[in-house]
Amino acid sequence: MSDAAQPTAAEVRAAAEAVKAALDRHLTAVERRTGDDDPDVYEAFNALAGAAEAYDELLYDRYDEVTPFETPGADGALPPYAGPDAPHALSLLIRRDYLVAEPKRLLAQARRVAEADGGADPTGPGARAGVSPLAALGVLFGEYEPDEIASRHKEFGLEEGDSTLWVTAAEELPEPGEWLNAPFEQADPERIVCRFDVSSVFDDDSDDDPDDDPEDDPVGVDTGQETGAGAP
Whether the per-residue pLDDT at 99 is higher than 90: the answer is: yes
pLDDT band at 216 (very low <50, low <70, confident <90, very high): very low
Cross-strand bridge partners of residue 229: 195
* 3-state secondary structure (DSSP) of residue 8: coil
124-136 average pLDDT score:
76
The three-state secondary structure class of 1 is coil
Dihedral pair phi/psi, residue 3, rounded to 5°: -60, -35
177-193 pLDDT, tens digit each: 999 998 888 788 888 88
DSSP structure class, residue 7: P
pLDDT of the residue at 188: 85
Mean pLDDT value of segment 62-91: 77
- Sheet with 225-230, edge to edge strand ranges: 89-100, 158-170, 192-199, 225-230
DSSP class of residue 36 equals T
* Averaged pLDDT score across all residues of the chain: 80
141-172 pLDDT per residue, tens: 999 999 999 999 999 999 999 999 999 998 88
Each domain of the chain, given as residue ranges in start order, spans 3-76, 80-97+159-232, 102-156
Rounded Cα distance between 169 and 52, Å, is 28
Per-residue confidence band for 75, with pLDDT thresholds at 50, 70 and 90: low
Nearest partner of 73 among 232, 205, 209, judged by Cα: 205
Q: What is the pLDDT of residue 226?
A: 42
* Average pLDDT score over residue span 56-72: 83
User: Angle 37-225-143 (CA atoms, 0-180°, nearest 5)?
Assistant: 100
The more confidently predicted of residues 130 and 95 is 95
- DSSP label at residue 164: E
Please work out, in degrees rounded to the nearest 5, the angle formed at the alpha carbon of residue 201 by the alpha carbons of 35 and 141: 90
Q: What is the pLDDT of residues 31-47, one digit of tens each?
A: 998 887 788 888 888 88
